[in-house]
């Protein structure tokens, strides 16, 4: 059942059925074969993230000692990012209610012990567009709060095939991933053998980034 967790924060459990999940996994594997996962690091300190990542689309999100940014090329080769997977684009069309396609698709790969601290998705030029998130692999405990980091937080489990829309009044909420749940997730599967360890998770986030041309 579709649930509004907060104004503009919409959870779509099981949005991708098993066939769609398998199709998306194959499309993501093709992206990763062209733009292999890399480990981003924190600006200034160089501390590595606990997740590996890649990107698809005209722009990709990168974090290194120089800062957070979107750029049109894979950082290790200078080649353009691969195209966004068609199944992910179809999810955007169905869920985003926005008149332009996404320009970036972040692909985050979580090992069973990976985490993602509370953060805001605020590097995009056009914040009127939502972020659309798709989950593959093991379930994750997703934590979300408010516009201030100190605001109270709540949590919801995201299972494989779930979609989450972060938009409207919730577009700039703080959110993160506290833990994965490989031991008890009956829906768990490894969608990306060779790229993702058993018990891991793949998360795609689709973002518009720039305002559409008039």
For residue 189, pLDDT over 90 is answered with no
Give me the pLDDT at residue 127, please.
96
* pLDDT tens digits, 166-177: 999 999 999 999
pLDDT band at 214 (very low <50, low <70, confident <90, very high): low
Of 2.60.120.200, 3.40.50.10380, 2.60.120.590, 3.40.50.970, the CATH number of 3-36+85-207 is: 2.60.120.590
Pair of tokens at residue 182: 């490989």
Mean pLDDT over 153-165 rounds to 96
Cα-Cα end-to-end distance for the chain? 36
Q: Are 85 and 27 in contact (CB under 8 A)?
A: yes
Where does residue 58 fall: left (phi above 0), alpha (psi -120 to 50 degrees), or beta otherwise?
Answer: alpha
Give me the pLDDT at residue 188, please.
76
* pLDDT tens digits, 48-80: 999 999 999 999 999 999 999 999 999 999 999
Pair of tokens at residue 25: 């996994």
Give me the pLDDT at residue 24, please.
98
* pLDDT tens digits, 122-154: 999 999 999 999 999 999 999 999 999 999 999
**Lowest mean pLDDT: which of 38-47, 82-91, 185-194?**
185-194
How large a percentage of the chain has pLDDT more than 70?
100
For residue 161, pLDDT over 70 is answered with yes
d(CA 75, CA 40): 10
Give me the pLDDT at residue 182, please.
80
d(CA 200, CA 192): 9
- Containing 140, the helix (H) or strand (E) segment is strand 140-144
d(CA 189, CA 201): 9
d(CA 20, CA 119): 29
Provide the 10 A C-beta neighbour count for residue 123. 15
Mean pLDDT of the chain: 95
Pair of tokens at residue 129: 């567009």
Q: Where are the domains positioned within the chain? A: 3-36+85-207
3-class DSSP assignment, residue 30: helix
């Amino acid at each position: 059942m579709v649930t509004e967790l907060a104004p503009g924060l919409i959870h779509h459990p099981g949005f991708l059925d098993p066939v769609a999940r398998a199709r998306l996994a194959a499309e993501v594997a093709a992206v990763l074969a062209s733009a292999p996962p890399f480990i981003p690091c924190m600006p200034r300190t160089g501390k590595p993230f606990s997740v590996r990542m890649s990107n698809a689309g005209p722009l990709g999100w990168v974090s290194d000692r120089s800062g957070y940014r979107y750029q049109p090329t894979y950082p290790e080769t200078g080649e353009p990012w691969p195209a966004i997977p068609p199944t992910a684009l179809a999810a955007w069309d169905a869920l985003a209610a926005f008149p332009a396609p996404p320009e970036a698709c972040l692909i985050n790969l979580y090992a069973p012990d990976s985490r993602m601290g509370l953060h805001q998705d605020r590097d995009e030029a056009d914040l009127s567009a939502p972020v659309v998130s798709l989950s593959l692999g093991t379930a994750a405990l997703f934590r979300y709060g408010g516009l201030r980091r100190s605001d109270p937080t709540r949590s919801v489990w995201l299972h494989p095939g779930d979609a989450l829309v972060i938009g409207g009044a919730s577009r700039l909420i703080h959110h993160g991933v506290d833990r994965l749940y490989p031991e008890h997730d009956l829906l768990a599967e490894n969608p990306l053998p060779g790229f993702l360890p058993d018990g891991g998770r793949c998360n795609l986030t689709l973002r518009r980034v720039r305002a559409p041309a008039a």
